[in-house]
Structure 1
């Protein structure tokens, strides 16, 4: 199927996965994908892809069923170096890769996502947390995040973006991520499902 670009490394329906000490260069699609997995730990991974690649997804977490129900919980991204990445840190509960997308009100619940020692450069926006009104993201923590802008012609730099994203900054970030709501969302919208990632 030549129209389908391959993912360099994909784990599907896996439990207690540890990915460490590998380098992935110039994948045609996502570099590293976890689909319907539980108990995932990723550390000391190098992902390299030119900024003008057709797709530069580094680590792609995917776990959807029946329109996007599920739970992403207790994930940690640590010791990651990025270079000239459009948006290095993204949680997007409204993601749609089609030309026309309907506005989704239900979303995979996201909680307990840790970003530790994420450093490097970006070309558009350092952080994009777009969470659902009905299922806000909670427990997002950032420690040692230092992302500096790189001016590229015809690119417009944007500030960090947060919508319904709650958590804590354990250390000051570069640039400052003032849009993250401190604490927890009002009410507990997290749900529990058997298919965790």
Structure 2
């Protein structure tokens, strides 16, 4: 066991403990199954840091019981960094404990002046905790709060477990996704509470075999696949299960969003046992996603097929269902079972269910009736080209 206090960390919340953390990691990295300890009842000020392989021994445990706080002084961040705390190219890395990663993100969200008025924080905001190129990753027990941008990101990782943890930021904190997945597979996220200012879980291209269950989300933007296909890129997402989820006061519930002009395929998606409370739009597919003032119309699209919605119940405040699919590549094999969504109050400006180029089947009557879903398969469904195959 390697305690950061033994490597010179002060844990007073003021002294820069980055070098002590680096020294503790350099030693732990050499020992298979070692434990790097961040003890309880201390606050460690740590600047941008990377705990990296690939030459570390496997199965290292990062035992976080104290608090790690981010610097708000702009001099730490240079012209902008993509992450604050990173673990990269490791085999078997576990972060566990009852501690807190505190991003102190409010100075980034609101453009408040940082500690030194002469220095301005960079426009590029860091992700609080990022895992890159790692296998057999576990995160449990800890809290990540007030991230500068995304809270927890997995990029190019395989065999990941996240459970019994908390992610917490205000609903008005810009772009603070809870958990962001890209180019990762075999991921299990469960028994986790997320409140943030963007998607609670964001699933991007290159993801497959993702299982999310027993989580709560709110405030936030819901659980989203995408946006996919930005800047005419190819996107491939498959075998995603989201079940036994509670969403409250979120913008959307379960959403798939793609940009016009993309290619690729989203398939075999299941949303099951979803409870929504005061959610603006509980079920959404948006193949015309655009986060700018305008986006040009393009014909190609990421193809969507094999999407199951079952046992989705609760209250909405704007529209129960919104299916906006591409003209050139309609959504196919969309099935709904036991969907019961009630308007929260009649005085809201309510909209009826909306469907465009959406084909599939209602296995049970829905509330409200989704009469706009077209039965069967699209007649002119375009043949998938090599560009679309994943």
Residue 21 (structure 1) aligned to one of 177, 186, 191: 191
SS at 1:144 equivalent: strand
| 1:17 Cα deviation after fit | 2.4
| 1:152 Cα deviation after fit | 6.9
Which residue number corresponds to residue 209 of structure 2?
39
| 1:139 Cα deviation after fit | 0.5
Once residues 186 and 389 of structure 2 are traced to their aligned partners in structure 1, the CA distance between those partners, rounded to angstroms, is 17
Q: Give the 3 Å change call, closer, same or farther, for CA 28–139 of structure 1 in structure 2.
A: same
Show CA shifts across 1:16-62 (max 9, x none): 323333322x212211011121222333332121xxxxxx3211112
Residue 7 (structure 1) aligned to one of 161, 170, 177: 177
Asked whether the 8 Å contact 2:330–2:381 carries over to 1, the reply is no
Q: Which has the higher contact order (CA 8 A, sep 6+)?
A: 1
Matched, 1:103 2:273: no
Once residues 170 and 142 of structure 1 are traced to their aligned partners in structure 2, the CA distance between those partners, rounded to angstroms, is 6
Once residues 263 and 337 of structure 2 are traced to their aligned partners in structure 1, the CA distance between those partners, rounded to angstroms, is 29
SS at 2:281 equivalent: coil
Asked whether the 8 Å contact 2:178–2:201 carries over to 1, the reply is yes
Q: Give the 3 Å change call, closer, same or farther, for CA 151–108 of structure 1 in structure 2.
A: same
What are the ranges of 5 or more consecutive residues in structure 1 without an aligned counterpart? 50-55
Which residue number corresponds to residue 353 of structure 2?
160
Compare the two structures and name the one with the higher helix fraction. 2
Aligned residue runs from structure 1 range 75-154, under 5 A: 75-151=269-345
Once residues 159 and 11 of structure 1 are traced to their aligned partners in structure 2, the CA distance between those partners, rounded to angstroms, is 32
Once residues 265 and 383 of structure 2 are traced to their aligned partners in structure 1, the CA distance between those partners, rounded to angstroms, is 8
**Larger gyration radius, structure 1 or structure 2:** 2
Which residue number corresponds to residue 225 of structure 2?
61
Once residues 10 and 39 of structure 1 are traced to their aligned partners in structure 2, the CA distance between those partners, rounded to angstroms, is 15
SS at 1:45 equivalent: strand
Once residues 208 and 380 of structure 2 are traced to their aligned partners in structure 1, the CA distance between those partners, rounded to angstroms, is 26
Once residues 18 and 172 of structure 1 are traced to their aligned partners in structure 2, the CA distance between those partners, rounded to angstroms, is 32
SS at 1:88 equivalent: strand
SS at 1:133 equivalent: coil
Asked whether the 8 Å contact 2:317–2:344 carries over to 1, the reply is yes
| 1:80 Cα deviation after fit | 0.8
Matched, 1:48 2:244: no
| 1:107 Cα deviation after fit | 1.3
What are the ranges of 5 or more consecutive residues in structure 2 without an aligned counterpart? 1-79, 81-107, 110-148, 150-174, 235-260
Aligned residue runs from structure 1 range 182-197, under 5 A: 182-189=375-382, 191=384, 192-194=388-390
Once residues 152 and 12 of structure 1 are traced to their aligned partners in structure 2, the CA distance between those partners, rounded to angstroms, is 40
Compare the two structures and name the one with the higher strand fraction. 2
Q: Normalising to structure 1: TM-score of the pair?
A: 0.87
CA RMSD after TM alignment: 1.8
